[in-house]
Amino acid sequence: MTARTMTVRLARAQRRAERRDTLLGLLARLDTLTAAEQALLLEYTNAELASSDELRRAVQGQQRALQAVIDQTRAAEATIVEVEQERDAARQELAAARTYDRALSSVTGWPTRFTFDVTGSYCATCRAWIPGPPGQPHACPTPDSIA
């Protein structure tokens, strides 16, 4: 909430409080009405004021919830910017590493890329990596099969 918004709200609340005081003062001097009419007017006025207060509290709650969403959105946007900066830095590092890799390869004759076949599955029983498509039948080696 900005300082200007807060100032506007405080001024509005002050005017509202002054209106209420005046209204209550007038209601207190309504001796020209019958007793039943005065009671009814007072009852209705109090009901309207209570309803107004309730509505104002609800609006304030919604404004707080909205502000929380705005704050979350701003934090998310800041995080996106930060991650994008990290991505750009990582791309620059990758480009530099590839340039270095190519230069190293041209000098040494080493391949620029090594390929690994990582397709397979891990057998927890014999603690071995079983190459090939996962889910293949596998017989764990036994002391007899190794010998």
- Residues binding Zn ion (CB under 5 A): 123, 125-126, 140
Q: Which two tokens stand for residue 56?
A: 């104002």
Q: How far apart are CA 63 and CA 1, in angstroms?
A: 10
Within 13 Å, how many C-alpha atoms sit on residue 85's CB side?
6
- Kindly state the smallest distance separating residue 136's Cβ from Zn ion, in Å: 11
- Kindly state the smallest distance separating residue 124's Cβ from Zn ion, in Å: 8
Residue 113 CA, distance from chain mean position: 41
- Phi-psi sector, 98: left (phi>0), alpha (psi -120 to 50), beta: alpha
Q: Which is nearer to Zn ion, 17 or 140 (CB)?
A: 140
Q: Which is nearer to Zn ion, 2 or 125 (CB)?
A: 125
- Kindly state the smallest distance separating residue 135's Cβ from Zn ion, in Å: 13
Dihedral angle of Cα 116, 118, 123, 128, to the nearest 10 degrees: 0
Q: Which is nearer to Zn ion, 1 or 118 (CB)?
A: 118
Q: Which is nearer to Zn ion, 95 or 126 (CB)?
A: 126
Q: How far apart are CA 107 and CA 73, in angstroms?
A: 50
Q: Which two tokens stand for residue 4?
A: 């200007």
- Kindly state the smallest distance separating residue 119's Cβ from Zn ion, in Å: 17
Q: Which is nearer to Zn ion, 25 or 134 (CB)?
A: 134
